[in-house]
Amino acid sequence: MDRSRRGTRFPISAGTRGGVRPGARAVAVLGVAVLAALAACGGQGSAGQAEGRLVLAAPRDLAAGPEDPYFTHRTLRVWEPLVTLDDEMRPAPALATGWERADRGRRWTFTLRGGVRFSDGTPLTAEAVVANIERFRRIAPRPSAFFSLDAGMEAAYGKLAGVRAEAGKVVFTLAEPVADLPARLADFYSMIQAPSAFGPGGDFTGKPVGTGPYTLASWSKGQQVELAANPGYWGGKPAFDRIVVRTIPDANARVAALRAGEVAGLIDKGALLPGQVAAVAADGRFRVTRTPSVLTHYLTFNASRKPFADPRLREAVDLAIDRKAIAGKLLAGTAAPGSPFLSPVFGALSDPGVRSAYDPAGARRLVDAAGRPARPVSILISSSETGQFPYTDIAEVLRADLEDAGLPARVNVAEATRAVMEAGDYDLFLSAYSVPNGDPDYLFRRFLRSDAAWNRDRNLGYRSDVFDRLIDRAAAAGGADERRELYHGVQRLLADDRPMIPLAYQDNPVVTSTAVTGLVQSPAYLVDLAKLAPSR
């Protein structure tokens, strides 16, 4: 024992003669080498914004390649749609300057913007638009990194009987009346590119060829996209000649790149995590833009089994939850407490008359009246959602709120929530839902209608003829007022029935350096890169 310990000392170390010690010299050499390397690579300065060139970062690739139905995300502004959405999710003109409805919504005529050319120089024609619509219908259903051509596609084109060019206009004929066709087509589903960009199978043959203010200069997967200003853009040349959007998946690394001045802004969904916003906003070099998003955090009930088959206990949960604490503290003020089923980004369709209440005493009374459940209720969250939002913390707060009300609870973090839900082995499911096209019919029909696959397969146990009839009438409603009233009715019904309750409406904070102005974000996380300009 003693010998071995002594053995760790080299027996001859005392014999070293004077002069520079080898170890020390080697350390010095290494140190010099590192310093030299650092110096050689130094001087990055503010690469985030050089003359006419802007570098931004996003958490994911905003270009997905030639096999993707769109190739690039709408945010990059390489292509433009026929119809876009304004900040209240109402249809707004893009390549179509206007539209007319005829025959109670069986026929829609879109007028195209004049003098628009694709980036290859060919003009935008009604025939080109028809070719794009036909391509969409041919390749659907098709997954996309941005907006899969499935359910929303069905909502947009499901009732389409035909589309044709007629005297420079585009005419859609529908098998059944559709009151809000422009809204259903908005953004991704009415992307228009030069027909020559597509091969016979519908894939891109080369780069995307759009009409937008930027063209795709280069793209390397997992690293960055580089955009070049389109000199022939109908809306005038944008302020930056080049925009690079780097992909930085790690949230901490993204903010570090911003602080280091390598990027002049962070955009896209989840650009800043809720916990990062305060520190970045406090830094005078940056300007954080917070806009409401299409994402809402909901709590879904399993009403197909005890205890939540009892409406009194669903109401008890609704009253027991401290939504202000969840939105204000856990989501660090990046969300607003939820009340009506449709968040304020749905504009007038959201019913301001529905108000959620926080009433722990009332919740306790309801639990006492209904009887305490025999076993703890299970709060299910998905491990894939815990990265972006603090769902483990929120679930923990929910658990505490429920226990205060007399409902013992436990939290179950699952990798595959679908299997758990289909087995019916949950009582509450905390998750986020987005409706990027702002179409409430999509949400109601696909998730809550009595025959909806989600409702049926995942054991929500919500069956309501009243609800089914209301949403069918709302979808076919001709006038905006009628439609609004019907959807308000739907939300009042849901506030009583409580198959799902909204907990919080999520913002999506994005940020630019103060050297850049013009950052505008839509509720669907779209940023208009063409509006960005250097500040004077």
Partner 1 sequence: MTRALRRVAETLLVLLVLSVLTFLLTSLAPGDPAEEILRRGGVQPTAESVAVLRGELGLDRPLFSRYLRWLLGVLRGDFGRSYADRAPVAAEILSRVPATLRLAGTASLIAVGLAVLVSVRAALRPRALDSRIARVVTVAVAAVPPYIVGILLISVVAVGMRALPTGGDGSPGAVILPAVTLGLAGTATLLRLLRADLAAVARLPFVKLAVAKGLSARRTVMVHALRAAAPGAITAAGVVLAELLAGAVIVETLFAWPGVGQLAVTAIRQRDIPIVQAYVLLTALATVLVLTLADLCVSVADPRVRR
Distance CA 228, CA 242 (A): 5
Minimum CB distance to partner 1 smaller for 244 or for 407? 244
* Closest separation in Å from C-beta 494 to partner 1: 17
Contacts of 268 (CB under 8 A, 6+ apart): 58, 59, 60, 62, 73, 75, 510, 525, 527
Residues 135 and 202: beta-carbon distance below 8 Å: yes
Contacts of 314 (CB under 8 A, 6+ apart): 301, 303, 308, 498, 501
Give me the sign of the Cα torsion angle 339, 341, 344, 347: negative
Minimum CB distance to partner 1 smaller for 363 or for 443? 443
Minimum CB distance to partner 1 smaller for 128 or for 244? 244
Q: How far is CA 260 from CA 27, 256, 278, 431, in A?
A: 29, 6, 18, 34
Q: Which two tokens stand for residue 270?
A: 């989840």
Give the distance between the most distant pair of CA atoms in the chain: 103
Backbone angles phi, psi at 502, to 5 degrees: -75, 130
* Closest separation in Å from C-beta 64 to partner 1: 6
Minimum CB distance to partner 1 smaller for 68 or for 401? 68
Ranges of H-type helices in 423-464: 440-443, 453-457
Minimum CB distance to partner 1 smaller for 40 or for 167? 40
* Closest separation in Å from C-beta 101 to partner 1: 27
* Closest separation in Å from C-beta 416 to partner 1: 3
Please name which of 358, 316, 365 lies closest in space to residue 339, comparing C-alpha atoms: 358
Minimum CB distance to partner 1 smaller for 47 or for 397? 47
Residues 527 and 519: beta-carbon distance below 8 Å: yes
Minimum CB distance to partner 1 smaller for 49 or for 119? 49
* Closest separation in Å from C-beta 45 to partner 1: 7
* Closest separation in Å from C-beta 60 to partner 1: 8
Minimum CB distance to partner 1 smaller for 253 or for 369? 253
Q: Judging by beta carbons within 10 Å of its beta carbon (0-12, 13-18, 19+), is residue 188 exposed, middle or buried?
A: buried
Q: Which two tokens stand for residue 186?
A: 């908005």
- Which 8-state DSSP code applies to residue 67? T
* Closest separation in Å from C-beta 456 to partner 1: 9
The string of DSSP letters for 156-173 reads HHTTEEEEEEETTEEEEE
* Closest separation in Å from C-beta 304 to partner 1: 17
Minimum CB distance to partner 1 smaller for 135 or for 446? 446
* Closest separation in Å from C-beta 227 to partner 1: 16
